[in-house]
Amino acid sequence: MLVDVNREKQRVRERVWNVLDTGGATYDATAHGRIPNFVGSSAAAAALGELASWKHARVIKAVPDKAQLPVRALALSEGKTVFMAVPRLADPAPFYLLDPSALTVPPAEAAAGRVAADIAPKVGVDALRAVDVVVLGSVAVNRAGVRVGKGAGYSDLEFALLTEAGLIGDHTTVVTTVHGLQVLDEELPATTHDVGVDVIVTPEEIINCSSPHRPSGLVWEHLDAQKIASIPVLAARAPAS
């Protein structure tokens, strides 16, 4: 079943990547294989900044993708704490913590993934605060809030870890910023470990989603031994076989 869902997700990804490439809707030469760095990402970030949930937020969990760079920069410029994952969660302290009061470079520079890796301390889950807004990147998303990422699955793992730690809950708003071409009016494949979004923000539109799915924690049966072994924080928590 999981294999079938993953195959269907990849079909969706390929179709959306092709549409974005054909439409010239990304800043990169091709959207394939990544979270699309979509044209209008700064306008989408500005629109997100007008939401009440964003204005009230103090702590933001964000993905490190280029498409969400304007969101991270906005958060830091407004004095919000931002954290994002170490690539592939491949460190016992798997998050970079960006404290706006301690930045040594301008917010727009600090928000870049490579710069954050140089200037931000790595911290464990126990050093983080409750998250007000989670910002996800997407390849595709529908109006019900079902999201398809690029296929690595790390955003879902991060969400599950923080949920189990009590840092993500009913108070947390989950958003994604995308190009309008990435919003599909159709059902999308999903599994029980996939995180749905509460709000979709495009450069032209705010879409509030109804009852998106949120996993209550890690779904261990969807993780193979190699994946668990490659992520220290998972290896340390893995149930005995």
Give percent of the chain above pLDDT 70: 99
What is the per-residue pLDDT for 241?
A: 62
Mean pLDDT of 25-29: 96
pLDDT bin (cut points 50, 70, 90) of residue 1 is low
Q: What average pLDDT does range 59-78 have in this prediction?
A: 98
The pLDDT tens digits of the residues spanning 164-179 come to 999 999 999 999 999 9
Q: What is the average pLDDT value for the chain, to the nearest integer?
A: 96
The CA–CA distances, whole Å, from 16 to 183, 189, 202 equal 9, 14, 15
In the chain, the domains with their CATH numbers are: 2-235 (3.40.50.10420)
Strand order in the sheet with 81-85: 122-123, 95-98, 81-85, 59-62, 133-136, 173-177, 199-201, 206-208
The per-residue pLDDT for 152 is 87
Phi, psi for residue 186 in degrees, rounded to 5? -160, 165
Cα–Cα–Cα angle for 102, 106, 109, nearest 5°? Answer: 110
Among 39-48, 69-78, 210-219, the least confident range: 210-219
What pLDDT score does 240 carry?
73
The tens digit of pLDDT for each residue in 114-165 reads 999 999 999 999 999 999 999 999 999 999 999 999 998 999 999 999 999 9
Q: Could you read off the pLDDT of 37-53 as tens digits, one per residue? A: 999 999 999 999 999 99
- Per-residue pLDDT band for 210 (boundaries 50, 70, 90) equals confident
Phi, psi values for residue 136, rounded to 5°: -110, 150
Q: State mean pLDDT over 4-20.
A: 97
pLDDT score recorded for residue 145 = 98
168 in Cβ contact with 135 (< 8 Å):
no
Percent of the chain whose predicted confidence (pLDDT) is above 90 = 95
- Per residue, the 3-state secondary structure of 127-163, as one string, reads HCCCCCEEEECCCEEECCCCEECCCCCHHHHHHHHHH
What is the structure's pLDDT at 77? 98
